[in-house]
Amino acid sequence: MTTPGAGTRTVVAVIAGTFLIMFAVSPISIVLPTLAAELGIDLAEASWIMTAYLVPLTACLLPSGRLGDQFGHTRIFFWGLVLSTCAAIAGSLAPHWYLLLIARAVQGVGAALVSANCYPIITATVASNQRGRGVGIATMASSLGSMAGTALGPLFVSPLTWRWAFATAAAAGCIAISVAWPTVVSPIPEPAGATPRRNRTDWPGAILLLLALIVASLSLNHFHDGPETFADGWRWHLPMHGVTAALFLMFVLIEQRVPEPLIRFSQFRNIRFSTAMVANGVLHMTMMMTIFSMPFLMQRGLGMSAVTTAGLVATMQAVTVAMTLIGGWLYDRTRSPWLCVVGLSCVAGGLTILGLDPSGMDIVTLFILIVIMGFGSGIFLTTNNTRIMSALSPEYRGFASGMLETTRQYGHTLGVAVATIGLSGVIGGAVTSETNPAVLEGFALSAAVTAAITWVGVALAAYPIWSRSARISDSSDVVDPSPLGLAVARRAARG
């Protein structure tokens, strides 16, 4: 499947890196209820342990992809592993909550350098007729990292402490660095047809994007006096929403004027690329909402143990792992866009049922729903990722990968926000070690809102099937979205 020697080592390095990134995230969600009670912080502060990682990761993905285009994807990938590992070590030693947030932010930057460059490496290394399986292996590694972190989560509650979650991630990072080092010494060649890009990175745009995402996250949190509701805190939320909109508008205006923008808006005329990007963000929003809120539902709402919680969440991740490989194989064989629609529909259906009445859920019902959602997630991930990475020409693979990971991580950020809003709106800010029936109502609200958004994502995934230009783009790896390019593709399709 790969080129001999260096190609195989490169794929192994990507597997190690993608494993590390998700391994650094998943155990934190398992230990979060216990960590919050131990540190005496409220739900909003606890959510920032996740948000402090996700916001820098999201904001830095596009600059990281551009840096990979400029200086080599394998080199940037490697230094991302180094930075993420060092931050994990700092997090394990952090004596205070705010220092832990700083370590998580740095860890997010390192994760961006890794995530934005893994798919261009795979795309350049693996033959085009086996690309679905190559992307499937990388996606599987990400899911395995998440599953491993979730499985170890109960150990970080008892008998160990939450600091071991970071220490273990640091140990995994050291292993990944040792595996990736040969790829820096002997990097893979540039993909055929790619044009070296040595222009400067759009740092003003990158800074504006970071500020916009930070303010957007702040606007969704209740940093105000009085009850923690949007109605009571409108004096905080409305101005922050306005600042967020202004920053995003400034970002768009700058991107249209700089010679080498982070986002080339012309690429979004490719229907297959643009709809797949939005659907990708929706899927990852559902995944993070589930990972973040499920421990609260099961431990604080239904009175289940941390071991049971970890077992069920790990089950969903295990099914996702298996289906990523199967999904890649199916897409290589069929090239069917319906795989995306079917996969995302399974996730939306599971969330819809969870949002109806979680108080009546027993472990068997939860298990069935989790298996269905894991099945859908795995099928969707590999198919959608392969379509995204094959939609643009080789010189824009860094951009495509950066956008893929940006929508993924911003979806994660929104998932945390939706879960936090739903839970805190019902139970308030306090997190205790006692069972609280109000958690069920908060989870139901979060699941219902997420399900509605996911059905919109299903519609977006289905739209290109009925779009003539998008159907044409499925017959080849890359199609120029301009009218001339589409005309050429139509003539080629007619033979």
pLDDT of residue 468: 54
pLDDT of residue 131: 65
Least confident of 96-110, 142-156, 347-361, 373-387: 142-156
pLDDT of residue 469: 47
Kindly tell me if the per-residue pLDDT of 348 is higher than 90: yes
Kindly tell me if the per-residue pLDDT of 184 is higher than 70: no
Average pLDDT score over residue span 209-233: 68
Average pLDDT score over residue span 425-450: 69
pLDDT of residue 83: 92
Least confident of 4-8, 240-244, 461-465: 4-8
Q: Give the pLDDT band (50/70/90) at residue 128.
A: low
The mean predicted confidence, pLDDT, of the chain is 76
Instruction: Return the higher-pLDDT residue of 212 and 191.
Output: 212
- Percentage above 70 pLDDT, the chain: 80
Least confident of 218-222, 311-315, 362-366, 475-479: 475-479
pLDDT of residue 221: 64
Three-state SS across the chain? CECCCHHHHHHHHHHHHHHHHHHCCHHHHHHHHHHHHHHCCCHHHHHHHHHHHHHHHHHHHHHHHHHHHHHCHHHHHHHHHHHHHHHHHHHHHCCCHHHHHHHHHHHHHHHHHHHHHHHHHHHHHECHHHHHHHHHHHHHHHHHHHHHHHHHHHHHCCCCCCHHHHHHHHHHHHHHHHHHHHHHHCCCCCCCCCCCCCCCCCHHHHHHHHHHHHHHHHHCCCCCCCCCCCCCCHHHHHHHHHHHHHHHHHHHHHHCCCCCCCCCHHHHHCHHHHHHHHHHHHHHHHHHHHHHHHHHHHHHHCCCCHHHHHHHHHHHHHHHHHHHHHHHHHHHHHCCCHHHHHHHHHHHHHHHHHCCCHHHCCHHHHHHHHHHHHHHHHHHHHHHHHHHHCCCCHHHHHHHHHHHHHHHHHHHHHHHHHHHHHHHHHHCCCCCCCCCCHHHHHHHHHHHHHHHHHHHHHHHHHHHHHCHHHHHHCCCCCCCCCHHHHHHHHHHHHC
pLDDT of residue 389: 78
Least confident of 23-32, 108-117, 196-205: 196-205
Kindly tell me if the per-residue pLDDT of 34 is higher than 80: no
CATH superfamily of 6-180+262-494: MFS general substrate transporter like domains (1.20.1250.20)
Kindly tell me if the per-residue pLDDT of 99 is higher than 80: yes
Kindly tell me if the per-residue pLDDT of 196 is higher than 90: no
pLDDT of residue 494: 41
Kindly tell me if the per-residue pLDDT of 229 is higher than 80: no
Instruction: Return the higher-pLDDT residue of 193 and 315.
Output: 315
pLDDT of residue 106: 92
Domain boundaries, the chain: 6-180+262-494, 202-261
pTM (2 d.p.): 0.64
Average pLDDT score over residue span 141-159: 76
Kindly tell me if the per-residue pLDDT of 213 is higher than 80: no
pLDDT digits 0-9 by tens, 284-295 = 888 888 877 887
Kindly tell me if the per-residue pLDDT of 393 is higher than 90: no
pLDDT of residue 317: 76
pLDDT of residue 178: 83
Kindly tell me if the per-residue pLDDT of 484 is higher than 50: no
Q: Give the pLDDT band (50/70/90) at residue 343.
A: very high
pLDDT digits 0-9 by tens, 259-282 = 777 777 777 888 888 888 899 999
pLDDT of residue 349: 93
- Percentage above 90 pLDDT, the chain: 8
